[in-house]
Amino acid sequence: MSEAMPVSRALFDEVMVPNYNPSAFIPVKGKGSRVWDQDDREYVDFAGGIAVNCLGHCHPAMVDALTEQGNKIWHLANVMTNEPALRLAKKLTQATFAERVYFANSGAEANEAALKLARRWALEEHGVEKQQIIAFQKGFHGRTFFTVTVGGQAAYSDGFGPKPGAIEHVEYNDLSSLEAVISDQTCAVMIEPLQGEGGVVPGEKEFLAGVRNLCDKHNALLIFDEVQTGFGRTGTLYAYEQSGVTPDILTSAKALGGGFPIGAMLTTSAIAAHLKPGTHGSTYGGNPLACAVSEAVMDVVNTPEVLNGVKQREQMFREKLQAINAKYDVFSEVRGQGLLLGAALNDKFKGKSREFLLASAEHGLMVLIAGADVVRFTPSLVIPQEDIEEGLQRFEKAVAQVVASHG
């Protein structure tokens, strides 16, 4: 394929598997929290590649790390000892409850490793009866067959033949519904401390504490899926730090690479010991380019300036979104934590989140949705104040347009 080959949205329909339905405009360049399309139209980016671009686009720390590592060594099989992977693992263990790290290439793969580890741990520590995995309705854990089955939307896992078994779903933020199902045969409970895809729904503090207690009572592992909430997104390196609950296994991806694919599973030495040589693995997991970039991202993100800055930016978003709502009356609430925020549409606009997304794009703004009823914002953690202001002005115009179209 020559470099000059013209690319249009129509080419997607010609050559791609139709499992996505991407935007009409085609972004080709990004700097910080601004993005330009093929026609040099500029957008403010409040989507951040779905909570991935935590330092915006082409942050110098990331470009430098990638360039430097790219001139040294790109790939090492996991039969080799790997400097960037061990450096990153050391920093992750120093910064969290965890003592051991497994590297993957995505959130789904990190979760797949977590679930397999939990099953193996239960088998070896407690015997074959302890298999049950409990997760939550509307939870999202990725698209491999195991993780999508553990996810709480049957529509995503139906239609692919027999599913992995011994998986139960209970209601989020409802401890009694977990209590009714958990037993000594439960091997693990997998949960997002704040449901992202499920509508930006924070886990209540007492609920998360209750989940931890029930896991302890029944000797079940608690797995926090922090693929979306992790790496500074909520104002601490990981959201568990604010929840008052420490999980046994934590998974991370998305912002972990800041835009370079990487995933990680973090756990304790005692639990990790059950993934002995040969039990699990990945060709690209721990790739030196990915780990070098991730370490550079972590050096920037895991600082008081950036983490406190997330809280300040959250305030700016909340205040302006409330002001927009006071004027146009479209949201029932603005919820979430840090820079993982959801504006839930009120009854009048329920089911119309996509209209807000499309109107925003028309006004030069990239936002996300979380289901049909929630407009989601996951901007760069270091987005400049003027970009927040400009983006929210554009969002106000988009809201006005949607409201007018239903006048």
Ligand X SMILES: *Cc1c(COP(=O)(O)O)cnc(C)c1O
Q: Which residues are catalytic?
A: 140, 225, 254
Task: Using CA atoms of 58, 309, 265, 173 in order, give the dihedral in degrees to the nearest 10.
Answer: -130
Shortest gap between Cβ of 146 and ligand X (angstroms)?
12
Say whether residue 391 binds ligand X (CB under 6 A).
Answer: no
Say whether residue 233 binds ligand X (CB under 6 A).
Answer: no
The one segment of 17-25, 190-198, 349-357, 398-406 that binds ligand X by CB under 6 A:
190-198
| Cα–Cα distance, 62 to 69 (Å, whole number) | 11
The one-letter amino acid code at 243 reads S
The one segment of 66-74, 189-197, 355-363, 387-395 that binds ligand X by CB under 6 A:
189-197
Per CB under 6 A, the list member of 88, 148, 253, 382 interacting with ligand X is 253
User: Which residue, 140 or 349, has its beta carbon nearer to ligand X?
Assistant: 140
Say whether residue 307 binds ligand X (CB under 6 A).
Answer: no
30 is in an annotated binding site: no
Residue from 161, 156, 264 nearest 169 by CA: 156
Tokens standing for residue 35: 């993005």
Residue whose CB is nearest to ligand X in the complex, by number = 107
Site for ligand X in 193-232 (CB under 6 A): 196-197, 225, 227-228
Say whether residue 252 binds ligand X (CB under 6 A).
Answer: no
DSSP state of 162: S
Residue from 44, 8, 41 nearest 23 by CA: 8
Q: Report yes or no: 314 and 341 within 8 Å, Cβ to Cβ.
A: yes
Pairing of strands 263-267, 100-104: antiparallel
Question: Based on the number of CB atoms within 10 Å of its own CB, is 325 exposed (0-12), middle (13-18) or buried (19 or more)?
Answer: middle
Interface size with ligand X, residues (CB under 6 A): 15
| Cα–Cα distance, 173 to 202 (Å, whole number) | 9
Residue from 235, 199, 203, 188 nearest 381 by CA: 235
Say whether residue 140 binds ligand X (CB under 6 A).
Answer: yes
394 is in an annotated binding site: no
Q: Which helix H or strand E contains 94, and what residues bound it?
A: helix 83-95
Site for ligand X in 142-171 (CB under 6 A): 142
Say whether residue 379 binds ligand X (CB under 6 A).
Answer: no
**Strand, coil or helix: what is 36?**
strand
The one segment of 101-109, 157-165, 268-276, 313-321 that binds ligand X by CB under 6 A:
101-109
- Which residues bind to ligand X, rule: CB under 6 A? 106-108, 111, 140-142, 192, 196-197, 225, 227-228, 253-254
* Binding-site residues from annotation for pyridoxal 5'-phosphate: 107-108, 140, 225-228, 283
